[in-house]
Amino acid sequence: MADQSPAPTPVDKSKSEFSVLQLIPNMLTIAAICAGISAIRFAAEDKFALAVFLITLACILDGMDGRAARYLGSDSKIGAELDSLADFVNFGVAPALVVYFWGLQDFYRAGWLAVLVFAICCVMRLARFNVDSRTKDPLDDSGYFTGVPSPAGAMMVMLPIYLPYAFGPGAAMPDLLACIYIMVIGWIMISRIPTWSLKSVSFSRTNVTYFLVFFTAFIACLVSFPWATLVACCFAYAGSILWAVTEYKMAKRKG
């Protein structure tokens, strides 16, 4: 009697096999997670400069993985979820814990409360971003983010560490002020305040040269005066938020 069982369905190798190039975005995301978790370890060992460097590296890798995925055509739902979870670890947990280990353990009740508030604000900001990316939030469509992005929030929340490294122990924030500052940064992340998106920035052929010169000078300052440069970046970004809010309100009135 002839075998009446159905023929096996052929496997689409294009969906079951991936090249190494297609795995690069996820590899960058995993490297960022390793950097964020390692930052916590080094902060616990009082190696705060290295911890800050690793979180900065995680920010750079976070900016690369999505672009690499789009360029290589390897976008995936798993990659998107992995990226969101990485952002929570690297920008919600790691920087707040680094600040806590740096100077808030003696002020541990308020310090730990500030860490929790910041982490919760970060995860809520990421959850809202995931929802808005599917529903196309109007702020994002007009070249603005809704609230401060988590990588920028991570870099800003470590300002209490930058100050004494840049200007000496006398420039350190008092513990209570540092706790309040951490929670304020968390609040700005979940606020509806419009902040500039790099996607809205473009340059004419004439201005590209000036931008590259400025970028070169910025890298030179970051290498030569890292802590002072990070402080300047925090204040410059805070100023850009005020400018973006003003510009957005003016655009709404004209519209």
Domains of the chain by range and CATH?
A: 20-254 (1.20.120.1760)
- By residue count, the chain amounts to 255
Burial 122-150 (b: 16+ CB within 10 A, else e): bbebbebbeebeeeebebbeebbbbbbbb
Helix (H) or strand (E) holding 144: strand 144-146
Q: What angle do CA 216, 189, 155 make, to 5 degrees?
A: 35
Segment 186-208, tens digit of pLDDT: 999 999 888 887 766 666 677 77
* Eight-state DSSP code of residue 91: I
Model pLDDT for residues 11-63, shown as the tens digit of each residue: 444 455 666 667 788 888 899 999 999 999 999 999 999 999 999 999 999 88
On whether the CB atoms of residues 160 and 181 are closer than 8 A, the answer is: yes
Q: What span, in angstroms and rounded, lies between the C-alpha atoms of 234 and 55?
A: 15
What is the CB neighbour count within 10 angstroms for residue 232? 16
pLDDT in tens, the chain (255 residues): 445 555 555 544 445 566 666 778 888 889 999 999 999 999 999 999 999 999 999 999 988 877 777 777 767 777 777 888 899 999 999 999 999 999 898 887 899 999 999 999 999 998 888 777 666 654 554 567 888 999 999 999 999 999 999 999 898 999 999 999 999 999 999 998 888 877 666 666 777 788 888 889 999 999 999 999 999 999 999 998 988 888 877 877 776
Predicted TM-score (pTM) of the model is 0.84
- For the beta carbon of residue 18, count every other beta carbon within 10 angstroms: 12
What Å distances lie between residue 220 and 164, 167, 229, 230, 238, CA to CA? 21, 19, 10, 13, 22
